[in-house]
Structure formats: structure tokens, C-alpha cells
Amino acid sequence: MHIFNNGKYKSLHAVEQGELATIRQTVHSDKDFYPTYHLAPQTGLFNDPNGLIFDGEKYHIFAQWFPYDALHGMKHWEHFITRDFQTFEKFDRLIPDEMFESHGCYSGGAIMWQNKIVAFYTGNTRRASDNQRVPHQNIAIFDKSGKLLEKRCIIDQAPAGYTEHVRDPKPFITTEGKIRFVLGAQRENLTGTCLVYEMDDLDSTPRLISELAVKDFDNSHVFMWECPDLFQLGGKDVFVWSPQGKLREAHQFQNNYHATYALGKLEGNNLTAEHIEELDYGFDFYAPQSVQNTDRIVFGWVGLPDLTYPTDKYKWHSTLSLPRQIKVANGKIQQTPIVQLAAKQAVEIDQKIAIDNLDTAYLQISVENQPLALNFFSNDNGQTLGLRYGNGLLTLDRSATEQTDLMEKFGSLRHCQVDKLDSLEIFFDRSVVEIFINSGEKVMTLRFFIANRINLLETSRPITVQVAQVQAIQIQN
């Protein structure tokens, strides 16, 4: 075992006595923004969901984690186990302590193999002579109780024809009983793609079969595909990935990076897409991954690469999304959040009204395809979060909320085309919002920051809102 401790490349094995407790006190000083029912780091930074799998009894949820600060330092995998997405227990983490992961444990997925959980992940390493990144593809084997049994490297370099940017293996078992995994990659001509590898078993050498081609996806300007995920759903083949470099557009692909899916038919390693779309139209959603051995649940990272947030000063950054049950409906993916709600109460709103605990509430609003403008919350600085609909366009407006320079850089409006808006379901969790449009036909997720807020809702016309509290999750260390 190696103990890495070099600036931001510091593993948990190098933690000093009381260090995390001190950081935790800083996190606790955040009285406005830390969520109640989203998985968030107790210290430091979360990003991609990883290794998501149902072992037949329990769900294992891993997340990229840097424990020491709200920045992208040496990545560990935090490890939660839950039976109901309500009560979570922590178990053995993935801590970088081998040379094949000397600069962090990057993203990946997991399978069940011979009654063990096998997590595939990318070990980030740097060559000492010139600091060149050298990606390693590794496996970590856990038993179903959450105990880490072993780790080892299965590929120690990028394949010929590709750059150092080869990462994020997501495995699955074929109908022939072999292990395959998809792997995000960058070609030497600096374009993004996905590689497909196959193994006969865990002891065999992975074989590169081919690239995975997605017909009709415009890959112009895209320099990297991250976090690929390939599975079947509702009789269709689904490929989910995060392309980097795609040009921003007015009403889609509005962020700096995107979470995209293609739905269609896979023949060999060519996917003929019947539909291609983003999984989320909000400000903050990236690197989604489906839970293996389910049909089918997805988590995402409520955040984006290269962003800072006002909560960084409290030494915590980002959350995971709510778990979302997905299905194919009308040729597209429909998403339904998995949460526990208290009893709903109908609230009649004419102009404005104070709603107790609005910032941790669920709202169901019947829009009836009529123009509507809503403002949520208020404070002494005049800050508010806006949502409006008209002419087939739903617009989120966080221009009147606190933002960092990097948040403002990518704009304060996000749009979603909805030809006929019947209903909205909105989940507020202090600084996280997930908005499900027309029963999950489309979704918009974001972070927002209004300190010392009043739980106020203002509307442009009379509406009836169903309001319920969302049950807080419990995390047992």
C-alpha cells in the first residue's frame, strides 16, 4: 500500500487526526444550502455517480469524492448501501493506494460476477519523467456486504490511436456470458468516441473490439466522450454518454458540457438512433449512470465540470440527483423520481403566498398549457428564482440569485421546448431543484443560491398547487 500525499493529490490514508472533523464543522456552518434529501458529501466534493448496482437485496451507490475541499483533487469513491433510497449506510471506500491509481480513482461502473461486486474504474496516474497522464483501467472486487476484497489493473495504457483521455469503463454481461465494457475515449485527431472491450472472464486480457458508432449524432467539435453507458430498456437499445465540446445552442445543449442519450437499435457496434436528446435541460446535470440489475434507475451528478458554487466556501460541493426510474414512452425516455412524500395539501394561490418549508417541498402544478410566470423565494436583497412558460417554451431564470463568475459565464437562463405543458412537479431541496415536466417527459435540474430566504411563491395568475414535504434521507456512518 502507498500513502499518497502531494498537494491536492492526498488520499484518506494521509488524513491527520481531527482534520475531517474540522472540515465538517465548516460544512455545518452552512445554514442555507446543504440539502436534506439528496446525497451530498459530508466534507469536500462529490461528482460522478459510480459503480451503481443492485446486488439482489441492496443498492450500492458509489460517488466520486475528494474529502478535503470543494475542488477536484484526488478522487476517491464514497460507498453507500441502501434498500429503499431513504436510509443509507457507508461501507468500504475506494481509496487510491496503488501505483495504478496514484493520482485518483476515476469513474466507472460495476457488475455482479460469481456473487461478488466487480467495480471497473480508471486509475489516474502521472508519469514521473514528464507528468504525462497514463490511464489505467482497473477492477475492485467487493463482497455484497460492502467489504473491499482486492484491486488490480487490467489495462495499463491507452490503446494505439488514442490519447491519454481514455476513461470511465461501464461493464455489462453479454447474453453469451462474457464481460463487455464501454470506455470513453479521445482519438489522436482529438475527436470523441467510445471503445468496446470484451473479456471471457475476470482473469482474461481485455480485447478491444471496436468503437461504438452512434448514427445521426453530430460529433462536430466534440473532443471527448465521457461516462458511457449501454443497456436495454423497453425493447430498445439505449446509449447514455456525456460529450464534451459540442457547440451550445439556443434551446438545447446550452451548458458547457452535456448529458445525452440515444435510443434505437444496436447492430454489432453500430447504434441506429431513433431519437437523440439530452437527459436534462437544466443548468447542472452531468455524468448520469444507470443502476446495473435494475430496469432501470439512473442517478446523475447535480453539477458540471469546471464550475464553482457559492457553497465552495463551506468546503462542500455538489450532490447526486434523486434516483430516477426511467422507461420508454412515445419513443423517448421518461423519468420518474423515487422519493417519499408526506400527504399532499391543495393550496390556492392568487398572487403570492408564504408556504412553510417551501425550500424542502414538493410542488405539483397544473399549468393547462396556459402562460404562467412563477417566482420562488425572496430576501432583503431582492433575490428570487424565476420559472415562466409561454409560446411553447419553459424558461428557468436564476439571474436574480447569487452566482459565481463561472456560473454567470455560461448564462443565467435555460430553456426547454414544451409544445403542450400540462403539469410541473418541482422538488426543492435548499439549493437543489429538480423539475419534472409532463410526468417526466423532460427534466430541468439546477443549483440556486438565495441566502436568508423567505419561503414565498408568487404567480402571474391564479393557480392551485399540491404541496407536500419530502422526507429527509438518513445516513449512517
Instruction: Name the residue range of residue 464's domain.
Output: 345-475
d(CA 40, CA 307): 17
Is 161 inside any structural domain? yes
pLDDT tens for 49-107 read 999 999 999 999 999 999 999 999 999 999 999 999 999 999 999 999 999 999 999 99
**87-90/474-476 β-pairing:** parallel
Could you tell me if residue 412 is inside a domain? yes
Q: How far apart are CA 25 and CA 352, in angstroms?
A: 37
Provide the annotated active-site residues.
48
CATH number at residue 403: 2.60.120.560
Helix, strand, or coil (residue 101): helix
Residue 121 and residue 2: Cα distance in Å, rounded?
18
Shared domain check, 408 and 327: no
Cα torsion 293, 297, 300, 302 to 10°: value is -140
Task: Please list the residues that pair with 390 across neighbouring strands.
Answer: 393
Longest dimension (CA), the chain: 68
The dihedral region occupied by 315, where left means phi > 0, alpha psi between -120 and 50, and beta the remainder, is left
Residue 37 lies in a domain: yes
Are 250 and 127 contained in the same domain? yes
End-to-end Cα separation, the chain, in angstroms: 24
178 and 320 co-located in one domain: yes
Q: Whole-prediction pTM value?
A: 0.97
Q: Do 350 and 327 fall into the same domain? A: no
325: domain CATH number is: 2.115.10.20
Q: How confident is the model at residue 202 (pLDDT cuts 50, 70, 90)?
A: very high
Residues 206 and 145 in one domain: yes
| Tally of structural domains, the chain | 2
Q: What is the mean pLDDT of residues 405-429?
A: 98
Task: Write out pLDDT tens, residues 235-264.
Answer: 999 999 999 999 999 999 999 999 999 999
172 in a structural domain: yes
d(CA 40, CA 161): 38
The last residue of a domain, from among 287, 313, 337? 337
Q: Are residues 45 and 73 in the same domain?
A: yes
Q: Mean of the pLDDT values across residues 325-345?
A: 97
Q: Which of these three, 337, 353, 380, is where a domain ends?
A: 337
Please indicate, yes or no, whether residues 354 and 326 belong to a single structural domain of this protein: no
Do 297 and 351 have their domain in common? no
Q: Please enumerate in sequence order all residues whose Cβ is within 8 A of that of 470, keeping only pairs 6 or more positions apart, or say none.
A: 36, 37, 339, 340, 341, 342, 360, 361, 362, 427, 429
Quick one: 364 and 444 in the same domain?
yes
Asked if residue 7 is part of any domain, the answer here is no
Nearest to 144 by CA among 72, 53, 207: 53
pLDDT at 457 exceeding the cut of 90: yes
Region 398-422: mean pLDDT is 98
Q: What's the rounded Cα separation, in Å, for the pair 401 and 397? A: 9
Asked if 74 and 186 sit in the same domain, the reply is yes
pLDDT at 129: 84
How does the average pLDDT of the chain come out, rounded?
97
Q: What's the CA gap between 63 and 385, in Å, rounded?
A: 29
Q: Which of 119, 151, 149, 136 is nearest to 2 (CA)?
A: 151
Residue 246 pLDDT: 96
Q: Is the per-residue pLDDT at 9 higher than 90? A: yes
Q: Which of 117, 122, 77 is nearest to 293 (CA)?
A: 117
- State which H helix or E strand residue 166 sits in: strand 162-173
DSSP letters, 366-413, are E-TT--EEEEEEE-TT---EEEEEETTEEEEE-TTS---HHHHHT-SE
> What pLDDT sits at residue 306?
92
DSSP string, 206-228: PEEEEEPEEET---TT--EEEEE
429 & 318 share domain = no
Are the CB atoms for 239 and 180 separated by under 8 Å?
no
Q: What residues are paired with 289 via a beta bridge?
A: 299
Domain membership of residue 3 (yes or no) is no
Check residue 304 and give its pLDDT. 97
pLDDT at 127 over 90: no
The confidence band for 396, taking pLDDT boundaries of 50, 70 and 90, is very high
Q: Which of 285, 303, 337 delimits the end of a domain?
A: 337
